[in-house]
Structure 1
Amino acid sequence: MNGLSGQRVLVAGGTAGIGLAIARRALADGAHVVIAGRNPRRGAAALEQLGSQQVSFVQGDAGNPAECQALVTEATARLDGIDALFCCSGGNPMPRLLKDIPLEDVMGVINRSLAPTILPARAVLPIMTGQGHGAIVCIASDAGKLATPGEVAIGAAMAAIIMFCRAMAYEAKRQGIRVNCLTPSIVEGTELHDNLMDDPFAGRLFAKAKTLAHLGVVQAEDIAEAAVFLASPAAARITGQTLSVTGGISAI
Protein backbone atom coordinates (compact mmCIF):
# COMPACT_ATOMS: atom_id res chain seq x y z
CA MET A 1 0.00 0.00 0.00
CA ASN A 2 2.52 2.56 -1.21
CA GLY A 3 0.14 5.44 -1.84
CA LEU A 4 -0.34 6.03 -5.55
CA SER A 5 2.90 4.43 -6.71
CA GLY A 6 2.62 3.43 -10.36
CA GLN A 7 -0.98 4.62 -10.64
CA ARG A 8 -2.38 6.66 -13.52
CA VAL A 9 -3.78 9.92 -12.16
CA LEU A 10 -5.83 12.75 -13.65
CA VAL A 11 -6.16 15.98 -11.69
CA ALA A 12 -8.90 18.19 -13.11
CA GLY A 13 -8.07 21.70 -11.96
CA GLY A 14 -4.47 20.69 -11.32
CA THR A 15 -2.66 23.86 -12.36
CA ALA A 16 -2.90 25.70 -9.03
CA GLY A 17 -4.02 25.53 -5.41
CA ILE A 18 -5.35 22.25 -4.06
CA GLY A 19 -5.13 20.51 -7.44
CA LEU A 20 -1.47 21.40 -7.85
CA ALA A 21 -0.74 20.21 -4.31
CA ILE A 22 -2.46 16.89 -5.09
CA ALA A 23 -0.45 16.50 -8.29
CA ARG A 24 2.78 17.16 -6.38
CA ARG A 25 1.83 14.63 -3.69
CA ALA A 26 0.87 11.98 -6.25
CA LEU A 27 4.16 12.46 -8.10
CA ALA A 28 6.05 12.06 -4.84
CA ASP A 29 4.40 8.64 -4.52
CA GLY A 30 5.56 7.68 -8.00
CA ALA A 31 2.29 8.16 -9.89
CA HIS A 32 2.00 9.10 -13.56
CA VAL A 33 -0.01 12.31 -13.65
CA VAL A 34 -1.94 14.46 -16.10
CA ILE A 35 -3.07 17.87 -14.88
CA ALA A 36 -5.93 19.59 -16.69
CA GLY A 37 -6.95 23.23 -16.77
CA ARG A 38 -8.30 25.98 -18.98
CA ASN A 39 -5.24 28.21 -19.17
CA PRO A 40 -2.15 26.94 -21.03
CA ARG A 41 0.11 29.51 -19.38
CA ARG A 42 -0.94 28.32 -15.94
CA GLY A 43 -0.45 24.77 -17.16
CA ALA A 44 3.10 25.51 -18.29
CA ALA A 45 3.87 27.24 -14.99
CA ALA A 46 2.49 24.28 -13.05
CA LEU A 47 4.64 21.83 -15.04
CA GLU A 48 7.70 23.94 -14.28
CA GLN A 49 6.89 23.93 -10.58
CA LEU A 50 6.32 20.17 -10.53
CA GLY A 51 9.55 19.52 -12.41
CA SER A 52 8.87 15.88 -13.25
CA GLN A 53 9.01 13.79 -16.39
CA GLN A 54 5.97 11.88 -15.14
CA VAL A 55 3.49 14.74 -15.50
CA SER A 56 1.91 16.46 -18.50
CA PHE A 57 -0.77 19.09 -19.08
CA VAL A 58 -4.04 18.90 -21.02
CA GLN A 59 -5.97 22.07 -21.80
CA GLY A 60 -9.73 22.06 -21.39
CA ASP A 61 -12.68 23.46 -19.46
CA ALA A 62 -13.95 20.73 -17.13
CA GLY A 63 -17.27 22.57 -16.85
CA ASN A 64 -17.96 22.30 -20.57
CA PRO A 65 -19.26 18.83 -21.49
CA ALA A 66 -17.48 18.59 -24.86
CA GLU A 67 -14.18 19.95 -23.55
CA CYS A 68 -14.41 17.79 -20.45
CA GLN A 69 -14.88 14.66 -22.55
CA ALA A 70 -11.98 15.66 -24.78
CA LEU A 71 -9.58 16.24 -21.91
CA VAL A 72 -10.53 12.95 -20.25
CA THR A 73 -10.10 11.12 -23.57
CA GLU A 74 -6.68 12.71 -24.09
CA ALA A 75 -5.56 11.95 -20.52
CA THR A 76 -6.71 8.34 -20.89
CA ALA A 77 -4.69 7.98 -24.08
CA ARG A 78 -1.56 9.44 -22.51
CA LEU A 79 -1.82 7.32 -19.38
CA ASP A 80 -3.32 4.22 -21.01
CA GLY A 81 -6.16 4.35 -18.49
CA ILE A 82 -7.08 6.28 -15.36
CA ASP A 83 -6.79 4.73 -11.91
CA ALA A 84 -7.54 7.86 -9.90
CA LEU A 85 -9.38 11.09 -10.69
CA PHE A 86 -9.24 14.18 -8.51
CA CYS A 87 -11.93 16.78 -9.26
CA CYS A 88 -10.53 20.10 -8.07
CA SER A 89 -12.03 22.48 -10.63
CA GLY A 90 -14.65 25.00 -9.70
CA GLY A 91 -15.83 28.49 -10.45
CA ASN A 92 -14.62 29.76 -7.05
CA PRO A 93 -17.45 32.29 -6.71
CA MET A 94 -17.11 35.00 -4.10
CA PRO A 95 -19.47 34.69 -1.12
CA ARG A 96 -22.38 37.11 -1.34
CA LEU A 97 -25.62 37.50 0.54
CA LEU A 98 -28.43 36.05 -1.54
CA LYS A 99 -30.18 39.42 -1.73
CA ASP A 100 -27.07 40.86 -3.39
CA ILE A 101 -26.91 38.24 -6.16
CA PRO A 102 -28.99 39.33 -9.18
CA LEU A 103 -31.73 36.84 -9.96
CA GLU A 104 -30.30 36.15 -13.40
CA ASP A 105 -26.90 35.24 -11.85
CA VAL A 106 -28.05 32.78 -9.17
CA MET A 107 -27.99 29.64 -11.31
CA GLY A 108 -24.74 30.70 -12.91
CA VAL A 109 -23.07 30.84 -9.49
CA ILE A 110 -24.34 27.34 -8.72
CA ASN A 111 -23.42 25.85 -12.10
CA ARG A 112 -19.91 27.35 -12.13
CA SER A 113 -19.18 25.48 -8.90
CA LEU A 114 -21.05 22.31 -9.73
CA ALA A 115 -20.35 21.42 -13.37
CA PRO A 116 -16.51 21.43 -13.36
CA THR A 117 -16.53 19.00 -10.43
CA ILE A 118 -19.15 16.45 -11.44
CA LEU A 119 -18.62 16.33 -15.22
CA PRO A 120 -15.11 14.80 -15.03
CA ALA A 121 -16.43 12.12 -12.66
CA ARG A 122 -19.11 11.20 -15.18
CA ALA A 123 -16.63 11.30 -18.06
CA VAL A 124 -14.26 8.77 -16.47
CA LEU A 125 -17.06 6.39 -15.45
CA PRO A 126 -16.99 4.21 -18.61
CA ILE A 127 -13.19 4.10 -18.52
CA MET A 128 -13.05 2.93 -14.93
CA THR A 129 -15.97 0.55 -15.53
CA GLY A 130 -14.04 -1.08 -18.35
CA GLN A 131 -10.99 -1.44 -16.12
CA GLY A 132 -13.03 -2.84 -13.26
CA HIS A 133 -11.57 -0.38 -10.77
CA GLY A 134 -10.97 3.29 -10.06
CA ALA A 135 -11.06 5.95 -7.37
CA ILE A 136 -12.63 9.40 -7.61
CA VAL A 137 -12.14 12.17 -5.06
CA CYS A 138 -14.13 15.39 -5.40
CA ILE A 139 -13.29 18.62 -3.60
CA ALA A 140 -16.34 20.50 -2.35
CA SER A 141 -16.71 22.71 0.74
CA ASP A 142 -18.13 22.59 4.24
CA ALA A 143 -20.63 25.16 2.95
CA GLY A 144 -22.50 22.12 1.66
CA LYS A 145 -22.97 20.90 5.25
CA LEU A 146 -23.32 24.07 7.29
CA ALA A 147 -25.67 26.95 6.50
CA THR A 148 -23.53 30.08 6.34
CA PRO A 149 -24.59 33.67 5.56
CA GLY A 150 -23.16 34.63 2.21
CA GLU A 151 -22.91 31.06 0.96
CA VAL A 152 -26.49 30.20 0.06
CA ALA A 153 -25.81 29.62 -3.64
CA ILE A 154 -22.34 28.19 -3.02
CA GLY A 155 -23.70 25.90 -0.33
CA ALA A 156 -26.41 24.63 -2.66
CA ALA A 157 -23.75 23.64 -5.21
CA MET A 158 -21.53 22.03 -2.59
CA ALA A 159 -24.41 20.03 -1.12
CA ALA A 160 -25.15 18.81 -4.63
CA ILE A 161 -21.55 17.66 -5.06
CA ILE A 162 -21.68 15.81 -1.74
CA MET A 163 -24.87 13.97 -2.71
CA PHE A 164 -23.55 13.30 -6.20
CA CYS A 165 -20.52 11.55 -4.69
CA ARG A 166 -22.63 9.50 -2.29
CA ALA A 167 -25.08 8.40 -4.97
CA MET A 168 -22.40 7.73 -7.57
CA ALA A 169 -20.50 5.63 -5.03
CA TYR A 170 -23.60 3.54 -4.45
CA GLU A 171 -24.13 2.99 -8.18
CA ALA A 172 -20.48 2.37 -9.09
CA LYS A 173 -19.35 0.07 -6.28
CA ARG A 174 -20.25 -3.05 -8.27
CA GLN A 175 -17.76 -1.94 -10.93
CA GLY A 176 -15.01 -1.61 -8.34
CA ILE A 177 -15.17 2.19 -8.42
CA ARG A 178 -14.91 4.21 -5.21
CA VAL A 179 -16.12 7.82 -4.89
CA ASN A 180 -15.41 10.08 -1.92
CA CYS A 181 -15.58 13.79 -1.17
CA LEU A 182 -13.47 16.24 0.83
CA THR A 183 -14.98 19.41 2.27
CA PRO A 184 -12.50 22.03 3.45
CA SER A 185 -13.36 25.50 4.68
CA ILE A 186 -10.66 28.15 4.23
CA VAL A 187 -7.42 26.78 2.73
CA GLU A 188 -4.22 28.82 2.90
CA GLY A 189 -1.64 28.63 0.16
CA THR A 190 -4.21 29.01 -2.61
CA GLU A 191 -5.18 31.83 -4.94
CA LEU A 192 -8.78 31.47 -3.79
CA HIS A 193 -7.71 32.10 -0.18
CA ASP A 194 -6.01 35.34 -1.15
CA ASN A 195 -8.99 36.50 -3.20
CA LEU A 196 -11.37 35.71 -0.35
CA MET A 197 -9.29 37.54 2.23
CA ASP A 198 -8.98 40.60 -0.04
CA ASP A 199 -12.76 40.85 -0.41
CA PRO A 200 -14.40 43.08 2.25
CA PHE A 201 -17.35 40.76 2.92
CA ALA A 202 -15.66 37.38 2.44
CA GLY A 203 -12.55 38.56 4.27
CA ARG A 204 -14.56 39.26 7.43
CA LEU A 205 -16.41 35.96 7.08
CA PHE A 206 -13.29 33.83 6.80
CA ALA A 207 -11.18 35.83 9.25
CA LYS A 208 -13.77 34.85 11.86
CA ALA A 209 -13.68 31.22 10.62
CA LYS A 210 -9.90 31.13 11.04
CA THR A 211 -10.24 31.90 14.75
CA LEU A 212 -12.10 28.58 15.12
CA ALA A 213 -9.31 26.56 13.48
CA HIS A 214 -7.67 25.62 16.77
CA LEU A 215 -5.73 22.80 15.10
CA GLY A 216 -4.29 25.28 12.62
CA VAL A 217 -5.65 26.77 9.43
CA VAL A 218 -5.70 24.12 6.71
CA GLN A 219 -3.03 24.25 4.00
CA ALA A 220 -3.35 22.95 0.45
CA GLU A 221 -0.92 20.16 1.38
CA ASP A 222 -3.30 18.97 4.11
CA ILE A 223 -6.05 18.46 1.55
CA ALA A 224 -3.60 16.73 -0.78
CA GLU A 225 -2.64 14.22 1.91
CA ALA A 226 -6.28 13.36 2.63
CA ALA A 227 -7.16 13.17 -1.07
CA VAL A 228 -4.27 10.85 -1.94
CA PHE A 229 -5.13 8.62 1.01
CA LEU A 230 -8.74 8.28 -0.17
CA ALA A 231 -7.59 7.35 -3.68
CA SER A 232 -4.94 4.91 -2.49
CA PRO A 233 -5.14 1.16 -1.75
CA ALA A 234 -5.04 2.06 1.94
CA ALA A 235 -8.65 3.28 1.54
CA ALA A 236 -9.78 0.31 -0.55
CA ARG A 237 -12.90 -0.25 1.58
CA ILE A 238 -13.92 3.40 1.84
CA THR A 239 -16.54 4.83 -0.52
CA GLY A 240 -19.46 7.24 -0.43
CA GLN A 241 -17.93 9.26 2.41
CA THR A 242 -17.56 12.99 2.92
CA LEU A 243 -14.68 14.13 5.11
CA SER A 244 -14.35 17.61 6.56
CA VAL A 245 -10.79 18.93 6.71
CA THR A 246 -11.07 22.28 8.48
CA GLY A 247 -8.59 22.44 11.37
CA GLY A 248 -11.49 22.42 13.79
CA ILE A 249 -13.67 25.12 12.23
CA SER A 250 -16.38 22.47 12.06
CA ALA A 251 -16.72 19.03 13.60
CA ILE A 252 -19.06 17.19 11.24
Structure 2
Amino acid sequence: MTATAQAGKSASELPGPKKLADSGALIVGGTAGIGLATARQLAEAGVPRIVIVGRTQKRGEHAKALIEQEGSDVTFLRGNPLDPISANYIAEQAEALLGGIDILVCSTAAEVRPELFSDIPIADIERTFTHLALPSMHMASAVLPLMRTRRQGVIVNLASDAGKSATPGEAVIGAAKAGIVMFTRTIAIEAKRDGIRANVLTPSLVNETGSTERITSGGFSAKLFAKAAQQAHLGVPVADDIAAAAVFLCSPAASRLTGQAISINGGISAV
Protein backbone atom coordinates (compact mmCIF):
# COMPACT_ATOMS: atom_id res chain seq x y z
CA MET A 1 0.00 0.00 0.00
CA THR A 2 1.35 3.43 -0.91
CA ALA A 3 1.90 6.17 1.65
CA THR A 4 -0.95 8.14 0.07
CA ALA A 5 -3.30 5.19 0.35
CA GLN A 6 -2.28 4.58 3.97
CA ALA A 7 -2.92 8.23 4.84
CA GLY A 8 -6.30 8.09 3.12
CA LYS A 9 -7.24 4.93 4.99
CA SER A 10 -6.21 6.45 8.32
CA ALA A 11 -8.25 9.59 7.63
CA SER A 12 -11.30 7.56 6.58
CA GLU A 13 -11.30 5.80 9.95
CA LEU A 14 -11.74 9.07 11.82
CA PRO A 15 -15.27 10.04 12.86
CA GLY A 16 -15.06 13.39 11.08
CA PRO A 17 -15.61 16.93 12.34
CA LYS A 18 -18.51 17.55 14.70
CA LYS A 19 -21.12 20.14 13.99
CA LEU A 20 -21.11 23.02 16.44
CA ALA A 21 -24.68 22.14 17.34
CA ASP A 22 -23.46 18.74 18.57
CA SER A 23 -20.39 20.01 20.45
CA GLY A 24 -19.42 20.86 23.99
CA ALA A 25 -16.94 23.69 24.50
CA LEU A 26 -14.52 24.48 27.32
CA ILE A 27 -13.41 28.12 27.34
CA VAL A 28 -10.52 28.77 29.73
CA GLY A 29 -10.38 32.48 30.42
CA GLY A 30 -14.00 32.68 29.33
CA THR A 31 -15.18 35.27 31.85
CA ALA A 32 -13.86 38.41 30.12
CA GLY A 33 -12.32 39.83 26.96
CA ILE A 34 -11.69 37.55 24.00
CA GLY A 35 -12.64 34.42 25.94
CA LEU A 36 -16.05 35.77 26.89
CA ALA A 37 -16.66 37.07 23.35
CA THR A 38 -15.76 33.63 21.98
CA ALA A 39 -18.08 31.84 24.40
CA ARG A 40 -20.95 34.14 23.45
CA GLN A 41 -20.35 33.68 19.72
CA LEU A 42 -20.06 29.90 20.09
CA ALA A 43 -23.40 29.94 21.90
CA GLU A 44 -24.90 32.10 19.17
CA ALA A 45 -23.54 29.63 16.58
CA GLY A 46 -25.45 26.83 18.26
CA VAL A 47 -23.02 25.17 20.68
CA PRO A 48 -25.46 23.77 23.28
CA ARG A 49 -23.13 23.15 26.23
CA ILE A 50 -20.36 25.50 27.37
CA VAL A 51 -18.09 25.52 30.40
CA ILE A 52 -16.25 28.76 31.17
CA VAL A 53 -13.30 28.99 33.54
CA GLY A 54 -12.02 31.96 35.51
CA ARG A 55 -10.54 32.86 38.86
CA THR A 56 -13.27 35.20 40.16
CA GLN A 57 -16.69 33.93 41.18
CA LYS A 58 -18.51 37.23 40.70
CA ARG A 59 -17.10 37.77 37.21
CA GLY A 60 -17.81 34.15 36.34
CA GLU A 61 -21.46 34.37 37.33
CA HIS A 62 -21.88 37.59 35.35
CA ALA A 63 -20.28 36.03 32.26
CA LYS A 64 -22.44 32.93 32.64
CA ALA A 65 -25.60 35.05 32.59
CA LEU A 66 -24.47 36.87 29.45
CA ILE A 67 -23.71 33.67 27.55
CA GLU A 68 -26.97 32.04 28.61
CA GLN A 69 -28.82 34.82 26.80
CA GLU A 70 -27.74 33.08 23.57
CA GLY A 71 -29.56 29.91 24.62
CA SER A 72 -26.73 27.61 25.71
CA ASP A 73 -26.43 25.59 28.90
CA VAL A 74 -23.49 27.28 30.68
CA THR A 75 -21.46 26.26 33.71
CA PHE A 76 -18.84 28.38 35.43
CA LEU A 77 -15.85 26.64 37.01
CA ARG A 78 -13.49 28.50 39.26
CA GLY A 79 -9.92 27.42 38.59
CA ASN A 80 -6.39 28.45 37.69
CA PRO A 81 -4.80 26.57 34.76
CA LEU A 82 -1.38 27.81 35.83
CA ASP A 83 -1.60 25.09 38.49
CA PRO A 84 -1.33 21.56 37.00
CA ILE A 85 -3.66 20.09 39.64
CA SER A 86 -6.28 22.74 38.89
CA ALA A 87 -5.87 22.18 35.13
CA ASN A 88 -6.60 18.47 35.55
CA TYR A 89 -9.59 19.26 37.78
CA ILE A 90 -10.97 21.67 35.18
CA ALA A 91 -10.63 19.06 32.43
CA GLU A 92 -12.23 16.30 34.50
CA GLN A 93 -15.19 18.45 35.53
CA ALA A 94 -15.73 19.84 32.03
CA GLU A 95 -15.54 16.37 30.49
CA ALA A 96 -18.37 15.23 32.75
CA LEU A 97 -20.46 18.38 32.42
CA LEU A 98 -20.18 18.51 28.62
CA GLY A 99 -20.43 14.81 27.95
CA GLY A 100 -17.01 15.14 26.31
CA ILE A 101 -14.82 18.15 25.52
CA ASP A 102 -15.06 18.71 21.77
CA ILE A 103 -13.64 22.25 21.79
CA LEU A 104 -10.95 23.77 23.99
CA VAL A 105 -10.28 27.50 23.74
CA CYS A 106 -7.53 28.85 25.99
CA SER A 107 -7.61 32.64 26.30
CA THR A 108 -5.92 33.43 29.59
CA ALA A 109 -4.24 36.71 30.50
CA ALA A 110 -1.59 37.78 33.00
CA GLU A 111 -0.99 41.00 34.89
CA VAL A 112 2.04 42.05 32.86
CA ARG A 113 2.86 44.99 30.62
CA PRO A 114 5.67 45.66 28.17
CA GLU A 115 8.94 46.90 29.63
CA LEU A 116 12.41 47.16 28.21
CA PHE A 117 14.34 44.04 29.17
CA SER A 118 17.00 46.12 30.93
CA ASP A 119 14.28 47.40 33.29
CA ILE A 120 12.91 43.98 34.25
CA PRO A 121 14.27 42.60 37.55
CA ILE A 122 15.71 39.13 37.09
CA ALA A 123 13.32 37.80 39.73
CA ASP A 124 10.33 38.80 37.56
CA ILE A 125 11.37 36.92 34.42
CA GLU A 126 10.21 33.47 35.48
CA ARG A 127 6.86 34.74 36.79
CA THR A 128 6.07 36.62 33.58
CA PHE A 129 7.09 33.75 31.31
CA THR A 130 5.28 31.01 33.18
CA HIS A 131 2.09 33.00 33.77
CA LEU A 132 1.83 33.63 30.03
CA ALA A 133 3.06 30.35 28.53
CA LEU A 134 2.00 27.55 30.85
CA PRO A 135 -1.84 27.74 31.07
CA SER A 136 -2.41 26.68 27.46
CA MET A 137 0.16 23.89 27.80
CA HIS A 138 -1.33 22.61 31.04
CA MET A 139 -4.85 22.60 29.61
CA ALA A 140 -3.80 20.82 26.42
CA SER A 141 -1.99 18.20 28.50
CA ALA A 142 -5.16 17.59 30.51
CA VAL A 143 -7.59 17.61 27.57
CA LEU A 144 -5.70 15.88 24.73
CA PRO A 145 -5.97 12.36 26.21
CA LEU A 146 -9.73 12.81 26.48
CA MET A 147 -9.99 13.96 22.87
CA ARG A 148 -7.81 11.08 21.70
CA THR A 149 -10.24 8.54 23.11
CA ARG A 150 -12.88 9.93 20.75
CA ARG A 151 -10.43 10.57 17.90
CA GLN A 152 -11.63 14.12 17.38
CA GLY A 153 -11.39 17.57 18.90
CA VAL A 154 -10.43 21.19 18.32
CA ILE A 155 -7.97 23.33 20.26
CA VAL A 156 -7.66 27.09 19.78
CA ASN A 157 -5.02 28.94 21.77
CA LEU A 158 -4.58 32.70 22.06
CA ALA A 159 -1.10 34.17 21.81
CA SER A 160 0.11 37.44 20.26
CA ASP A 161 1.96 38.91 17.31
CA ALA A 162 4.73 39.50 19.86
CA GLY A 163 5.47 35.81 19.38
CA LYS A 164 6.12 36.37 15.67
CA SER A 165 7.69 39.80 15.41
CA ALA A 166 10.35 41.28 17.72
CA THR A 167 8.87 44.26 19.54
CA PRO A 168 10.70 46.56 21.97
CA GLY A 169 9.48 45.97 25.49
CA GLU A 170 8.26 42.46 24.79
CA ALA A 171 11.38 40.32 25.12
CA VAL A 172 9.92 38.05 27.80
CA ILE A 173 6.31 38.44 26.67
CA GLY A 174 7.31 37.65 23.09
CA ALA A 175 9.31 34.61 24.17
CA ALA A 176 6.29 33.25 26.05
CA LYS A 177 3.91 33.95 23.17
CA ALA A 178 6.33 32.37 20.67
CA GLY A 179 6.34 29.35 22.95
CA ILE A 180 2.55 29.10 22.70
CA VAL A 181 2.72 29.43 18.91
CA MET A 182 5.31 26.69 18.44
CA PHE A 183 3.68 24.49 21.08
CA THR A 184 0.33 24.72 19.30
CA ARG A 185 1.80 24.04 15.89
CA THR A 186 3.68 21.02 17.20
CA ILE A 187 0.73 19.40 18.95
CA ALA A 188 -1.22 19.94 15.73
CA ILE A 189 1.26 17.70 13.92
CA GLU A 190 1.38 15.17 16.75
CA ALA A 191 -2.40 14.92 17.17
CA LYS A 192 -3.61 15.07 13.57
CA ARG A 193 -3.70 11.26 13.26
CA ASP A 194 -6.24 11.26 16.06
CA GLY A 195 -8.51 13.72 14.26
CA ILE A 196 -7.54 16.61 16.52
CA ARG A 197 -6.88 20.07 15.13
CA ALA A 198 -4.94 22.84 16.90
CA ASN A 199 -4.50 26.44 15.80
CA VAL A 200 -3.43 29.67 17.47
CA LEU A 201 -4.68 33.21 17.04
CA THR A 202 -2.10 35.97 17.40
CA PRO A 203 -3.69 39.41 17.72
CA SER A 204 -1.76 42.57 18.47
CA LEU A 205 -3.80 45.38 20.02
CA VAL A 206 -7.40 44.42 20.83
CA ASN A 207 -9.57 47.31 21.93
CA GLU A 208 -12.05 47.02 24.79
CA THR A 209 -10.05 44.37 26.65
CA GLY A 210 -8.31 44.51 30.01
CA SER A 211 -4.95 43.61 28.47
CA THR A 212 -5.00 46.56 26.08
CA GLU A 213 -6.17 48.91 28.83
CA ARG A 214 -3.23 47.75 30.93
CA ILE A 215 -0.56 48.22 28.25
CA THR A 216 -1.88 51.59 27.06
CA SER A 217 -2.43 53.18 30.45
CA GLY A 218 0.86 55.05 30.54
CA GLY A 219 4.63 54.86 30.36
CA PHE A 220 6.77 53.19 27.73
CA SER A 221 4.13 50.73 26.49
CA ALA A 222 1.51 53.44 25.97
CA LYS A 223 3.76 55.28 23.53
CA LEU A 224 4.75 52.06 21.79
CA PHE A 225 1.20 50.90 21.16
CA ALA A 226 -0.12 54.34 20.26
CA LYS A 227 2.29 54.21 17.32
CA ALA A 228 1.20 50.66 16.51
CA ALA A 229 -2.46 51.65 16.46
CA GLN A 230 -1.70 54.24 13.78
CA GLN A 231 -0.65 51.37 11.48
CA ALA A 232 -4.00 49.60 11.85
CA HIS A 233 -5.53 51.24 8.81
CA LEU A 234 -8.32 48.66 8.77
CA GLY A 235 -9.09 49.50 12.37
CA VAL A 236 -7.81 48.13 15.65
CA PRO A 237 -9.69 44.85 16.26
CA VAL A 238 -12.07 44.35 19.16
CA ALA A 239 -12.69 41.13 21.06
CA ASP A 240 -15.57 40.14 18.77
CA ASP A 241 -13.24 40.18 15.76
CA ILE A 242 -10.92 37.65 17.37
CA ALA A 243 -13.87 35.60 18.63
CA ALA A 244 -15.30 35.32 15.10
CA ALA A 245 -12.03 33.79 13.91
CA ALA A 246 -12.02 31.39 16.87
CA VAL A 247 -15.56 30.23 16.07
CA PHE A 248 -14.57 29.60 12.45
CA LEU A 249 -11.57 27.53 13.57
CA CYS A 250 -13.84 25.48 15.84
CA SER A 251 -16.35 24.80 13.08
CA PRO A 252 -16.43 22.07 10.41
CA ALA A 253 -15.70 24.81 7.84
CA ALA A 254 -12.09 24.73 9.11
CA SER A 255 -11.84 20.92 9.12
CA ARG A 256 -8.69 20.94 6.96
CA LEU A 257 -7.00 23.76 8.86
CA THR A 258 -4.49 22.90 11.58
CA GLY A 259 -1.11 24.02 12.85
CA GLN A 260 -1.64 27.63 11.81
CA ALA A 261 -0.83 30.88 13.63
CA ILE A 262 -3.24 33.53 12.37
CA SER A 263 -2.75 37.26 12.92
CA ILE A 264 -5.75 39.56 13.24
CA ASN A 265 -4.36 43.05 13.69
CA GLY A 266 -6.05 45.49 11.32
CA GLY A 267 -2.87 45.91 9.29
CA ILE A 268 -0.44 46.79 12.09
CA SER A 269 1.93 44.24 10.59
CA ALA A 270 2.03 41.30 8.18
CA VAL A 271 3.67 38.40 10.02
Please give the range of the TM-score, normalised by the shorter of the 2 chains. Answer: over 0.9
Where does 1:160-239 land on structure 2 (aligned, <5 Å)?
Answer: 160-239=179-258
1:90–1:114 CA contact under 8 A, matched in 2: no
1:133–1:176 CA contact under 8 A, matched in 2: yes
Task: Name structure 1 gaps, 5 residues minimum.
Answer: none
Q: Do structure 1's residue 128 and structure 2's residue 152 form an aligned pair?
A: no
2:26–2:52 CA contact under 8 A, matched in 1: yes
Q: Do structure 1's residue 240 and structure 2's residue 256 form an aligned pair?
A: no
TM-score normalised by length of structure 1: 0.97
Report percent identity of matched pairs. Answer: 47
Structure 2: how far apart are the matches of 1:173 and 1:157?
Answer: 24
Where does 1:110-149 land on structure 2 (aligned, <5 Å)?
Answer: 110-149=129-168
* Equivalent residue number for residue 69 of structure 1: 88
Structure 2: how far apart are the matches of 1:235 and 1:34?
Answer: 22
Structure 2: how far apart are the matches of 1:62 and 1:149?
Answer: 28
* Equivalent residue number for residue 8 of structure 1: 24
1:214–1:249 CA contact under 8 A, matched in 2: yes
Structure 1: how far apart are the matches of 2:18 and 2:144?
Answer: 25
1:92–1:140 Cα change, 3 Å: farther
* Equivalent residue number for residue 49 of structure 1: 66
SS of alignment partner, residue 213 of structure 2: helix
* Equivalent residue number for residue 38 of structure 1: 55
Structure 2: how far apart are the matches of 1:165 and 1:83?
Answer: 17
Task: Name structure 2 gaps, 5 residues minimum.
Answer: 1-16
Which aligned runs of 4 or more in structure 1 are off by greater than 4 angstroms? Answer: none
Q: How many residue pairs get matched? A: 252
Letter aligned with residue 91 of structure 1: A
SS of alignment partner, residue 201 of structure 2: strand
SS of alignment partner, residue 178 of structure 1: strand
Q: Do structure 1's residue 87 and structure 2's residue 106 form an aligned pair?
A: yes
1:242–1:69 Cα change, 3 Å: same
TM-score normalised by length of structure 2: 0.90
Letter aligned with residue 90 of structure 1: A
SS of alignment partner, residue 184 of structure 1: coil
Deviations 1:121-153 (A, max 9, x none): 111001100011000000000000010110000
2:109–2:211 CA contact under 8 A, matched in 1: no
* Structure 1 position 3, deviation (Å): 6.7
Structure 2: how far apart are the matches of 1:174 and 1:51?
Answer: 35
* Structure 1 position 220, deviation (Å): 0.2
Structure 1: how far apart are the matches of 2:113 and 2:19?
Answer: 34
* Structure 1 position 4, deviation (Å): 2.2
Q: Do structure 1's residue 21 and structure 2's residue 40 form an aligned pair?
A: no
1:90–1:116 CA contact under 8 A, matched in 2: no
Structure 2: how far apart are the matches of 1:50 and 1:100?
Answer: 41
SS of alignment partner, residue 112 of structure 1: helix
* Structure 1 position 194, deviation (Å): 1.4
Structure 1: how far apart are the matches of 2:231 and 2:19?
Answer: 31
* Structure 1 position 106, deviation (Å): 0.7
Deviations 1:12-34 (A, max 9, x none): 00000000000000000111211
1:16–1:101 Cα change, 3 Å: same
Structure 1: how far apart are the matches of 2:268 and 2:52?
Answer: 30
Which residue, 151, 167, 170 being the options, matches 2:170? 151
Superposition RMSD in Å:
1.4
Letter aligned with residue 178 of structure 1: R
Letter aligned with residue 18 of structure 1: I
